[in-house]
Structure 1
Amino acid sequence: MSEESIQEELLEKISSIVGNGYLGEPEAMRVEAEIPGVEDKIVPLLGYLLARKRWGPLIKVSNIGSHLHVQGLGDLLVAALNCAEIGERAEDLVEILGDLRYAPAASPIFDYLKRIILREPSPYYGISVKCAQALGALGTSESREILAELTSDEWPAPVRWHAAVELGNEEVLGFDEETMLGGI
């Protein structure tokens, strides 16, 4: 059986177990119970999906891997986040990296935010929230420095607001939620 066949069969099996929709811990536990040794198969499957830029399945399997605390997941998610083609679909990966408290993700999250926010005339509200929350969850000096940079005037007001909230200094900076979020 070819590597492609093995990965496609695994993906089919996972999809048949979890279906569509939200993937939480119960679904991940069901996958773990029904596919022996799945923890060791997640990262190779994600590598296969990343190489083919199959973002939907990659995000689904990443969610399962995060609940199973799969080793090596952070590196692979950062590699996916660094692919320009993923676009705004990567917001789920940003959230997972924050949940994992994967410290090396700080700069890639910042780079992703710059690619998304600065290329559009108006910011992606959900993405700015998830990026700020993930950086806050990382809790490293690097992630706090990035959050501080995101509070500067060069960033759209919603990005500045959420970065300040994560730093806990929105009042010190004189930020007003209603003004900055403008009824979003």
Structure 2
Amino acid sequence: MTGRVTQRHARSIATAHPGTTQPLAAWIREAAHASDRRRADRLANLAAPLRAPGLGATLRDILDADIPGPNDEDLVEILGEIRAADAVPCLFRTAERSVRADAPAYRLRQKVVFSLGEIGTAQAHDRLRAMTAPPWPDPVRRHAAVELEVEDELGLGEDRVPGRCAALFPPRGTPDR
């Protein structure tokens, strides 16, 4: 099992192995602390469509501890997918912490922006608004503005963004978005 697990596949696994949903969060935590990236990622991708109990808290703890191993991009994406509103501060800290490691493509920060948009709470929108201002890098500022649908208002529309930035952030509604 690799990559995203569909709802159907996750349900079939849960049906074939009753009782597996409950301990998934603990197993993810255990794998992450053992630096078993592959296992942690696979379990997290199984737990997401099952909405396993404790999943959001476990992923938040792993991201906040900055544990090497699990794929932070996947964990961030899952927090958005499950709309973990209590993860908003953690997601923002993850974006702040990734300044040097994430440049120049800012893939992790893109996932944070998408996840904050998916969560959609007032707190998530406040964090996105904060990401539209300096000192955040221009590509991140633009992406946050697009998520909030205020890019033109802030002067971050595609016609005002350098070519490299525009290529990184396709307009809403394109296949990559």
- Give the alignment's TM-score, normalised by structure 2: 0.84
User: Structure 1 residues 88, 70: CA separation in 2 closer, same or farther (over 3 Å shift)?
Assistant: closer
- 2:45 paired residue among 60, 63, 73: 63
Question: What SS does the aligned partner of 1:155 have?
Answer: coil
1:43-54 alignment to 2 at 5 Å? 43-54=25-36
Is the 1:94–1:130 contact (alpha carbons within 8 Å) kept by the matching residues of 2? yes
One-letter amino acid of the structure 2 residue matched with residue 183 of structure 1: A
More helix, by proportion: 1
Pair 1:161-2:153 in alignment = no
Match of 2:19 in 1: 37
Pair 1:136-2:136 in alignment = no
Greater alpha carbon shift after TM alignment, 121-130 vs 153-162: 121-130
Question: What SS does the aligned partner of 2:59 have?
Answer: helix
Residue 152 of structure 1 deviates from its aligned partner by 0.6
How large is the RMSD of aligned CA atoms in angstroms?
Answer: 2.0
Pair 1:77-2:59 in alignment = yes
1:81-160 alignment to 2 at 5 Å? 81-86=63-68, 89-116=71-98, 118-120=99-101, 122-160=103-141
Task: Give the percent of matched residue pairs that are identical in Structure 1 and Structure 2.
Answer: 30
Structure 1 or 2, whichever has the larger Rg, is: 1
Question: What SS does the aligned partner of 1:132 have?
Answer: helix
User: Structure 1 residues 110, 70: CA separation in 2 closer, same or farther (over 3 Å shift)?
Assistant: same
Is the 2:37–2:71 contact (alpha carbons within 8 Å) kept by the matching residues of 1? yes
Whole-angstrom distance in 1 between the partners of 2:45 and 2:121: 23
Q: Deviations over 1:96-152 (max 9, x none)?
A: 101111111111111111111x22483343222211010111122221111111001
Whole-angstrom distance in 2 between the partners of 1:162 and 1:50: 30
Question: What SS does the aligned partner of 1:32 have?
Answer: helix
Segments of structure 1 that go 5 or more residues without pairing to the other structure are: 1-18
Whole-angstrom distance in 2 between the partners of 1:56 and 1:121: 21
Segments of structure 2 that go 5 or more residues without pairing to the other structure are: 169-177
Is the 1:113–1:128 contact (alpha carbons within 8 Å) kept by the matching residues of 2? yes
One-letter amino acid of the structure 2 residue matched with residue 166 of structure 1: E
Whole-angstrom distance in 2 between the partners of 1:88 and 1:152: 30
Match of 1:14 in 2: none
Whole-angstrom distance in 1 between the partners of 2:52 and 2:154: 39
Question: What SS does the aligned partner of 1:86 have?
Answer: coil
Residue 83 of structure 1 deviates from its aligned partner by 2.6
